Structure formats: C-alpha cells, structure tokens
Structure 1
Amino acid sequence: MQDTPETAEFAKRAEEASQRARKMKAELRKKRRADKLKLQQQLGAELMKETNITSAQQLKQYLQDNLNYEAEAENQQNYQQALIELTTFANQLTWNEQRGYWQAANLHELTDWLATQRTQH
C-alpha cells in the first residue's frame, strides 16, 4: 500500500511537529537549568553574606553543626518532657506499709505512658 500525496504531507507535518516538540523540550530543560543555576548562585551569595562562609568545607561544617544542634535541642526537649511526666507519676506513688513497696496510683495510666517510651514496637 502506497502513501497518497495527502498522507505523505500529513506524515511530513507530523515529523516536523515532533521535531519542534523535541526542540522546545530541550530549550525548556536548558532554561530550567539556567534558572536553577541562577537561584543557586543567589542563595550562595546570600549565604556567604550572612555567614561569612568562603569554602565548601566551611559550608559542610556549618550545616552539620546547625543540624546537629537542632536535633540535640529536640532530643533535649523530648527528654525534659519525659522527665516531667515520669516525675508526675513518681510523685503519685504511695508507700504500702503492709507489703513494703511503692504502689502506683494509676497503674493503667502508668503502663500506657511507659508503652509510649518503648524503642521497639
């Protein structure tokens, strides 16, 4: 089956449209890369201005220090909250003179709270 002049023209137009689409996609990727590079440069310049960082090693150390500080602060806050809750339960303990041990005022609530502190579930 041979192409008619009309179908050959459609095929030619379709190929041209496909080539234009590929070219436009390539141009869009190029523009996006240029925009990303420009943003990186702006962010880098602003970071250097604010922190006086002048090398990649200094940047790495700065990020590590700040990320570790934030993680430590969060851990410290969690620790303080757990300590407050534990102290609350401890203050509610009563001494059972007859049996010779400390007794929890609300054992169910205490075990539920302890279950939230587990590291394995």
Structure 2
Amino acid sequence: MQDTPETAEFAKRAEEASQRAKQLRAELRKKRKADKLKLEQQLGAEILKITDIETVGQLKSYFEDTFNQEAQQDLEAQQLSNEVERFANQLTWNDQRQYWQVADLRALTDWLATHRTQH
C-alpha cells in the first residue's frame, strides 16, 4: 500500500502531536517537581519557626522524641484498656437486682484511685 499525500500528512500530524504530548508531559513533570520543592521549602520554614530547629540532627531527634512519646502513650492506653477489660470480665450479673456486680470492689476502687487527678 502506497502512502498518499493525505496519509503522509496525517502521519506527520500524528508524529507532531506525539512529540507535543511528550513535551507537555515533560513540562508537567518539571512543574510538579518545582511545586513539590516549593512546598518542601515552605514546610521546612514552618517547622523552623515552630520548633527552633537549626540542624538535621535536631530535626531527627525532635521526630524521634515525638514518635517515642506517641508510642509510650499508645502503650499506656493499651495497658489501661487491658486493666478495664480485666475488671469488666470479672463482672457478674445479679438476676434478682438486675445489675452488674463487681467481683472485687476494693481492688476496683483502689485501681481507680491510682488514676485520680486530684488527691
């Protein structure tokens, strides 16, 4: 099959369109990269304002401390949940009075007292 002037023109236009699409994709990647860099710089400036961090080591230490505190809080929350669950599992239903009874009221109140904020 021979190329006609029309098919040759269509092929040329298709190639030009393909090249233009590649160029636009490259420009878009470049713009996204520049936008990301700008955002990173803005975030960095905000972190510096908030934390007074001046070095990468200080930043690493700051995040390690923060993550360690969160992990400790998660652990404490899990331990608290386990204690509550332990007392809840010891409850017994009183059919006559229609309420749940605490198996060891003294242990429960002693435990609750350790969580008071006012003494």
Calculate the TM-score normalised by the size of structure 1: 0.71
Q: Does 1:34 align with 2:7?
A: no
Q: Does 1:18 align with 2:18?
A: yes
Distance 1:51 1:17 in 2: 50
Q: Percent identity?
A: 57
Calculate the TM-score normalised by the size of structure 2: 0.72
Aligned to 1:57: 57
Report the aligned-residue RMSD: 1.6
Q: Does 1:8 align with 2:28?
A: no
Aligned to 2:71: 71
Aligned to 1:116: none
Aligned to 1:82: 82
Distance 2:60 2:89 in 1: 43
Residue identity matched to 2:33: R
Distance 1:47 1:28 in 2: 28
Equivalent residues in 2 for 1:92-111 (5 A)? none
